[in-house]
Structure 1
Amino acid sequence: MHQKTVFVAGHRGMVGSAIVRQLEERDGVQLLLRTRADLDLTSQAEVREFMTETRPDEVYLAAAKVGGIHANNTFPADFIHQNLMIEANVIHAAYAAGVPRLLFLGSSCIYPKLAEQPMREEALLTGPLEPTNEPYAIAKIAGIKLCESYNRQYGTDYRSLMPTNLYGPNDNFHPQNSHVIPALLRRFHEAKVRGEAEVSVWGTGGPRREFLHVDDMAAACVHVMELPKAVYEEHTQPMLTHINVGTGTDCSISELAAVIARTVGFEGRISFDTSKPDGAPRKLLDVTRLNALGWQASIPLEEGLADTYRWLLQHGVAEEGN
């Protein structure tokens, strides 16, 4: 049996590690994994040399600089520069080395701030972006267009998936630079440990968000990557190379905070700091295309949050200040 070699860029991150877990369960897959110390994806020369030497059969491009509202607001240059460099280097080097198939992972923030809900793939580039993460979003849009352009010009089979808000094991639980679920899990956990009476949550609690467990995301990645080219192209016409990945359901931040409080066992009061930004009023993806391709999410939010909290406790992240 032919061993298929697969390079997972960003295999130590939340999404990359979940993709690795999925691929490890499959026969005939030889994983190519490189740490940041082994391979600097922002270095054109290093990436070119790696691709030329290894010539993988498939590439999952899960490497990215990511963060929440605070991080995006504080480090906009880092977010646009590093993400542009990573995707441009990996996608071009893959093409130059004759890599037949690649999967690029974007983000739902590629869609306009006031896009019609739920957001369909066709909403891309139809209006202004959410200002707080516009540099990151533009880098991700560039990645989609890189894949689309190489497919058009060179006939490559480079695909893009746009996940909704992801959470799960190996998430970033940094107190300032994390996304909403890890930030709240940590905050509620620490409040419980310290016996605090109240937890304050950023914003009004009104915005609605969709959340997808990273193991579901990884399963969707492998499912889409294994589709025949003709099937993928049929579902991404006309001129679309990306497909949304989500659950198709959302909840308000206040509802999320209540579920997290229950998950952690925090019995105090939840308040909302309305001086902090809300971000987009609603972000829900239309997952019609993905469902038509034979995949849908299977991990309910409460189950996924419990799994993530167990991981947090096992790894002592909150105690270490990571």
Structure 2
Amino acid sequence: MNELQKRIYVAGHRGMVGSAIVRNLQGSGHKTIITRTHDELDLTDQASVRRFFAEERPDQVYLAAARVGGIHANNTYPAEFIYSNLMVQTNVVHEAWRSGVRQLMFLGSSCIYPKLAEQPMTEAALLTGKLEPTNEPYAIAKIAGIKLCESYNRQYGTDYRSVMPTNLYGPGDNYHPQNSHVLPAMLRRFHEAKLADAPAVVIWGTGSARREFLYVDDMASASIHVMQLPAEEYRRHTQVMESHVNVGTGEDLTIAELAALVSDVVGYKGRIQTDPSKPDGAPRKLLDVSKIRQMGWQATTSLRAGIELAYLDFERSLHGEEAIA
């Protein structure tokens, strides 16, 4: 079947990653993209997911639905993070297999790797050490998702692939002041400080932790690129069908450097202060992206350009908040 003719289900199409995948697919000419809102389909309800797959019979699935958040959210809601993600993954993967779906893409996270993994982190680092405690429940759920796909491949001969992105940001991000990831949280904090003419902005931790960031539309293009690779070529790069693939830029910076860059993009003129009483998280998280580059893909959006686009999206989101209020 021609790629453009396939019926493609994008789980989590309203989220940052899912919406970027839909944009990319539509831009490439795909006509039949299947979506459901949470109100229309609760992915934690196995019976509902089973009925959905029986009725829609998609050819491909992008599993981008997940409960996500930053350090504060992961620390505050660990039970919800592990339960929701395990249930969604289990239901979608199992019911996709039951309905005959041969191709599925599972989107994970770089937090699957040990806290003190050798940097940059290769795919082989999985399960070689202890996880970062602040997001361990979420990480365990994502590891289970990888192993779920591997197990169905081994037992049933499916072609279920997994990509592990680094920290993502961009249009559709969550800008909540407490429950968002570091980059969108900074955008809100520096924007509000600019409006209030605040003398200083305080960022969590020492500022020394190093992080890698990937623009979400680059992540979408990587996911689709990996999904569309012929099985033989995918096996050639991963050795076996049981391997996952890192997706990132291959470059990182300190949180302090990130704060300075966000401050400059936003136009804030005050001081930046650190709060060492708050957790840094893992000291460094940089992915080895040599495998996906060998597959013919690499990121194209620079960090500054991506942050500028994200700031425009944040400002648009503020108008939505005002309308709701």
Interval of TM-score (by shorter of Structure 1 and Structure 2):
over 0.9
The one of 247, 264, 283 aligned to 1:262 = 264
Distance in 1, matches of 2:154 and 2:275, equals 48
- Does residue 286 in structure 1 map to residue 288 in structure 2? yes
Q: Which AA in structure 1 matches 2:85?
A: N
TM-fit CA distance, 1:217 = 0.2
Q: Say which SS state the counterpart of residue 32 (structure 2) adopts.
A: strand
TM-fit CA distance, 1:3 = 2.2
Distance in 2, matches of 1:134 and 1:44, equals 25
- Does residue 143 in structure 1 map to residue 145 in structure 2? yes
More moved, 21-30 vs 149-158 = 21-30
Aligned counterpart, 1:97? 99
Q: Which AA in structure 2 matches 1:121?
A: E
Q: Say which SS state the counterpart of residue 29 (structure 1) adopts.
A: coil
Distance in 1, matches of 2:141 and 2:111, equals 11
Does structure 1 conserve the Cα–Cα contact (< 8 Å) formed by 2:86 and 2:144? yes
Aligned counterpart, 1:126? 128
Q: Say which SS state the counterpart of residue 307 (structure 1) adopts.
A: helix
The 5 A counterparts of 1:1-322 are: 3-238=5-240, 240-316=242-318, 320=322
CA-based RMSD: 1.4
TM-fit CA distance, 1:100 = 1.3
TM-fit CA distance, 1:26 = 2.0
Distance in 2, matches of 1:77 and 1:108, equals 20
Distance in 1, matches of 2:312 and 2:129, equals 40
Q: Which AA in structure 2 matches 1:242?
A: H
Distance in 1, matches of 2:213 and 2:319, equals 21
Q: Say which SS state the counterpart of residue 105 (structure 2) adopts.
A: strand
Distance in 1, matches of 2:320 and 2:58, equals 38
TM-fit CA distance, 1:84 = 0.2
Aligned residues: 322
Unaligned runs of 5+ in 1: none
Q: Which AA in structure 2 matches 1:60?
A: Y
Q: Which AA in structure 2 matches 1:96?
A: R
TM-fit CA distance, 1:224 = 0.6
Distance in 1, matches of 2:108 and 2:319, equals 26
> Are the structure 2 counterparts of residues 35 and 143 from structure 1 closer, same or farther at C-alpha, using a change threshold of 3 Å?
same
Q: Say which SS state the counterpart of residue 66 (structure 1) adopts.
A: coil
Distance in 2, matches of 1:28 and 1:71, equals 36
Distance in 2, matches of 1:66 and 1:165, equals 11
Does structure 1 conserve the Cα–Cα contact (< 8 Å) formed by 2:15 and 2:65? yes
TM-fit CA distance, 1:230 = 1.1
Q: Which AA in structure 2 matches 1:171?
A: D
Q: Which AA in structure 1 matches 2:201?
A: V
Q: Which AA in structure 1 matches 2:278?
A: K
Distance in 2, matches of 1:135 and 1:211, equals 22
TM-fit CA distance, 1:127 = 0.4
Does structure 2 conserve the Cα–Cα contact (< 8 Å) formed by 1:186 and 1:318? no
Distance in 1, matches of 2:31 and 2:100, equals 19
Q: Which AA in structure 2 matches 1:72?
A: N
TM-fit CA distance, 1:314 = 1.9
Q: Deviations over 1:133-184 (max 9, x none)?
A: 0000000000000000000000000000000000001100001000000000
Distance in 2, matches of 1:319 and 1:140, equals 31
TM-fit CA distance, 1:35 = 0.3
Q: TM-score, normalised by structure 1?
A: 0.98
Q: Which AA in structure 1 matches 2:106?
A: F
Q: What's the % identity of the aligned pairs? A: 65
Q: Deviations over 1:220-252 (max 9, x none)?
A: 011111100111122222564210000000000
Q: Which AA in structure 1 matches 2:122?
A: R
Does structure 2 conserve the Cα–Cα contact (< 8 Å) formed by 1:312 and 1:318? no
Distance in 2, matches of 1:317 and 1:136, equals 31
Distance in 1, matches of 2:204 and 2:61, equals 37
Q: TM-score, normalised by structure 2?
A: 0.97
Does structure 2 conserve the Cα–Cα contact (< 8 Å) formed by 1:173 and 1:317? no
> Are the structure 2 counterparts of residues 125 and 215 from structure 1 closer, same or farther at C-alpha, using a change threshold of 3 Å?
same
Does structure 2 conserve the Cα–Cα contact (< 8 Å) formed by 1:6 and 1:57? yes
